[in-house]
């Protein structure tokens, strides 16, 4: 980072001073204070439960009765069984604490205001989405996938485009090299939204360009998640980016109060330039993703996609919704007309390409839209595949329906292949994921472990003609908790590029067989089976 502007990242003089300074910095850090205060809140609640247990003669009978009533309620409540099972152990061990926690998550009191804001914003932006008749007309160019096009429009306000070119990137270094070239061409605005933004060399390079563009009058904004981007989620963040002429906002600032709404993180990766060029994928803004420097892995493999054309406007709209939902109560939402033309202009452009570039549908998903869009797109691809499905994902923590869909595709004779990491970045998630992989390989799904580093790509491809690239992992957190995004692609050149990347990457992998699974250390397998019950909450 620029040391003159962000003194926090100055070079340290010696090892002893460095250690002492690190300790003081950590103890004073926002992350430590917040974590400590939340832990205190949990301990107070737990202590209250323990006191009740030790001072009430009939506590056991009452708690057993309450647990029984709650379990009857749980069984008869609509929802996925995996989520229900995850709550059984907490309720058995600490009934009142567990039940209270369940209802806090179920009703998500902390997210009520966020949900209201999102609904209002999306209602206000309906004018910028083409009408249903136009969406149907676009889908008719490719009748074989018009059902998923209509689904994404009806439940995600995601419009299909026929005249937008796409380019696939197999690694972060190619992604950033192309992005830097496009940023230099920006004329009106640059919108950036990422889960992780860290002080690093690649951020320095981007800031040099963004600062120059801001001086030229380009509207430059950056939105990042407070948990993903801990180093920049502080009081100095606003002043720091402002010194480069950049507007910035932090998604859901992490405050030291237990709040279930804070569970819904912004995991999306979006860049929109003038509504003409956009990017998404799994890449974050750190040196590790650009393969400049990594403490843990020899190579960090990720995937991204570039969209050139009118489809980029969808990502502009998605960014503006997230940006404006962070406004304070007395700050009105801005006029989106300054950035996105209304439906009349969009309707005309939807028909100019005649499908030569294929069908491109950028879409988003979140915990508040009442639809499991990310998961349903993945399931659609699996259900409609006839020959092969190629998947790259860093995590495999899935519910029964996704497990059944993967296995059913394999049982139909579809060659279903997954590439997953050989090494972990999150130990518990890795251990739990291996237990799901065991179920898959026992039922005909082929799984390969990437040997050359860590694979973070989120890619689904079917029959070399249909697929999606985005930020959505194959896990509960992406499917049900996070804000996510992706791009559904049909008969685009990027699909063929992604398939080639998959085939090439598979050469750097070793297949995980049932015999190989048995060789995994016992403590890894045991950890996975123990924590699997909590998979839906991870």
Q: What is the pLDDT of residue 407?
A: 97
**Based on the domain organization, do 147 and 276 belong to the same domain?**
yes
DSSP 402-468: HHHHHHHHHHTT-EEEEEEESS-SSHHHHHHHHHHHHHHHTTT-EEEEE-SSEE---EEEETTTEEE
Q: What is the pLDDT of residues 80-132, one digit of tens each?
A: 777 777 777 777 777 767 777 777 666 665 667 778 888 888 887 877 887 77
Which of 109, 133, 152 corresponds to the end of one domain?
Answer: 109
Six token digits for residue 406: 């993967």
Q: Does 3 map to a domain?
A: no
Which of 59, 79, 109 corresponds to the end of one domain?
Answer: 109
Is 254 a residue whose pLDDT tops 70? no
Averaged confidence pLDDT in the chain: 83
Q: Does 322 map to a domain?
A: yes
Mean pLDDT, residues 180-207 taken together? 95
Three-state DSSP class for residue 122 = helix
Which of 52, 77, 109 corresponds to the end of one domain?
Answer: 109
Q: Does 324 map to a domain?
A: yes
Q: Does 2 map to a domain?
A: no
Is 38 a residue whose pLDDT tops 50? yes
**Based on the domain organization, do 81 and 165 belong to the same domain?**
no
**Based on the domain organization, do 417 and 475 belong to the same domain?**
yes
Is 467 a residue whose pLDDT tops 70? yes
Q: Does 52 map to a domain?
A: yes
**Based on the domain organization, do 131 and 87 belong to the same domain?**
no
Euclidean distance between CA atoms 10 and 2, whole angstroms: 9
Q: What is the pLDDT of residue 191?
A: 97
**Based on the domain organization, do 151 and 249 belong to the same domain?**
yes
**Based on the domain organization, do 329 and 388 belong to the same domain?**
no
pTM, rounded to two decimals: 0.84
Is 272 a residue whose pLDDT tops 60? yes
Domain range for 164 is 112-359
**Based on the domain organization, do 120 and 266 belong to the same domain?**
yes
- Edge-to-edge strand list for the sheet holding 304-308: 165-169, 304-308, 277-281, 270-273, 189-194, 219-225, 247-251
Q: For 321-328, which contacts have Cβ atoms below 8 Å and span 24 or more sequence positions?
A: 321/118, 321/121, 321/122, 321/125, 322/193, 322/223, 322/251, 322/266, 322/268, 322/483, 323/191, 323/221, 323/223, 323/249, 324/121, 325/114, 325/117, 325/118, 325/121, 326/223, 326/249, 326/250, 326/251
Mean pLDDT, residues 468-482 taken together? 93
Q: Does 367 map to a domain?
A: no
Mean pLDDT, residues 153-175 taken together? 93
Q: What is the pLDDT of residues 142-161, one digit of tens each?
A: 999 999 999 999 999 898 99
Highest mean pLDDT among 24-28, 208-212, 253-257, 365-369: 208-212
**Based on the domain organization, do 396 and 521 belong to the same domain?**
yes
| Residues in Cβ contact with 143 at an 8 Å cutoff, skipping those fewer than 6 apart | none
Q: What is the pLDDT of residue 82?
A: 74
Bridge partner residues of 348 (DSSP):
none
Residue 245: give its domain's CATH number: 3.30.870.10
Q: Does 10 map to a domain?
A: no
**Based on the domain organization, do 384 and 503 belong to the same domain?**
yes
Q: What is the pLDDT of residue 51?
A: 66
**Based on the domain organization, do 296 and 413 belong to the same domain?**
no
Q: Quick one: DSSP state of residue 27?
A: H
Mean pLDDT, residues 20-32 taken together? 51
If phi over 0 gives left and psi between -120 and 50 gives alpha, with beta otherwise, what is residue 453? Answer: left
Sign of CA dihedral 377, 379, 383, 385: positive
**Based on the domain organization, do 52 and 118 belong to the same domain?**
no
* Greater model confidence, 415 or 77: 415
Count of domains in the chain? 3
Six token digits for residue 382: 């699996």
DSSP E strands: which ranges in 265-414? 270-273, 277-281, 300-301, 304-308, 359-365, 388-392, 396-397
**Based on the domain organization, do 210 and 68 belong to the same domain?**
no
Q: What is the pLDDT of residues 348-404, one digit of tens each?
A: 444 555 667 899 999 999 988 888 999 999 999 999 999 999 999 999 999 889 999
* Greater model confidence, 387 or 516: 387
Q: Does 281 map to a domain?
A: yes
């Amino acid at each position: 980072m620029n040391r003159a502007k962000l003194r926090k990242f100055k070079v340290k003089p010696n090892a002893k001073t460095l250690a002492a300074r690190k300790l003081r910095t950590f103890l004073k850090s926002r992350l430590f204070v917040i974590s400590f205060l939340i832990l205190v809140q949990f301990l107070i609640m737990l202590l209250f439960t323990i006191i009740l247990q030790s001072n009430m003669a009939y506590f056991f009978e009452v708690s057993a009765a309450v647990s029984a009533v709650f379990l009857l309620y749980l069984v008869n409540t609509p929802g996925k069984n995996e989520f229900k099972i995850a709550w059984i152990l907490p309720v058995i061990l600490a009934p009142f604490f567990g039940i209270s926690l369940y209802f806090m998550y179920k009703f998500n009191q902390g997210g009520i205001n966020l949900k209201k804001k999102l609904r209002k914003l999306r209602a206000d932006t309906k004018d910028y989405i083409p009408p249903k008749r136009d969406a149907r007309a676009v889908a008719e160019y490719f009748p074989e996938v018009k059902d998923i096009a209509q689904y994404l429009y009806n439940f995600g306000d995601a419009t299909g485009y026929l005249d937008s070119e796409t380019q696939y990137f197999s690694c972060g270094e190619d992604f950033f090299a192309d992005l830097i070239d496009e940023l230099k061409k920006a004329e009106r605005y640059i919108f950036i939204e990422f889960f992780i933004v860290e002080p690093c060399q690649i951020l320095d390079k981007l800031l040099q360009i963004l600062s120059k563009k801001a001086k030229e009058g380009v509207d430059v904004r950056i939105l990042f998640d407070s948990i993903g981007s801990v180093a920049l989620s502080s009081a100095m963040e606003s002043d720091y980016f402002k010194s480069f002429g950049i507007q910035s906002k932090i998604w859901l600032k992490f405050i030291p109060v237990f709040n279930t709404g804070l569970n819904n993180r912004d995991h999306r990766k979006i860049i929109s330039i003038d509504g003409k060029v956009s990017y998404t994928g799994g890449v974050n803004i750190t040196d590790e993703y650009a393969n400049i420097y990594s403490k843990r892995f020899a190579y960090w493999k990720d995937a991204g996609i570039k969209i050139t054309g009118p489809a980029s406007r969808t990502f502009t709209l998605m960014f503006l919704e997230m940006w404006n939902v962070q406004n304070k109560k007395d700050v009105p939402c801005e006029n989106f007309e300054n950035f996105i033309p209304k439906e009349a202009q969009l309707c005309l452009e939807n028909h100019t390409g005649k499908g030569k570039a294929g069908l491109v549908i950028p879409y988003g998903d979140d915990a508040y839209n009442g639809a499991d869009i990310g998961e349903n797109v993945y399931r659609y691809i699996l259900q409609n595949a006839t020959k092969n499905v190629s998947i790259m994902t860093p995590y495999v923590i899935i519910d029964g329906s996704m497990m059944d869909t993967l296995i059913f595709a394999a049982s139909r004779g579809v060659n279903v292949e997954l590439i997953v990491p050989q090494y972990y970045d999150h130990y518990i998630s890795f251990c739990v994921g291996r237990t799901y992989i065991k179920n898959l390989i026992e039922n005909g799904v082929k799984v390969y472990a990437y040997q050359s580093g860590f694979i973070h790509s989120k890619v689904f491809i079917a029959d070399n003609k249909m697929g999606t690239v985005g930020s959505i992992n194959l896990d509960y957190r992406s499917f049900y908790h996070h804000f996510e995004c992706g791009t559904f692609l049909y008969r685009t050149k990027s699909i063929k590029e992604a398939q080639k990347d998959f085939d090439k990457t598979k050469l750097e992998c070793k297949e995980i067989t049932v015999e190989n699974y048995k060789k995994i250390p016992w403590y890894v397998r045991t950890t996975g089976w123990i924590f699997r019950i909590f998979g839906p909450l991870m």
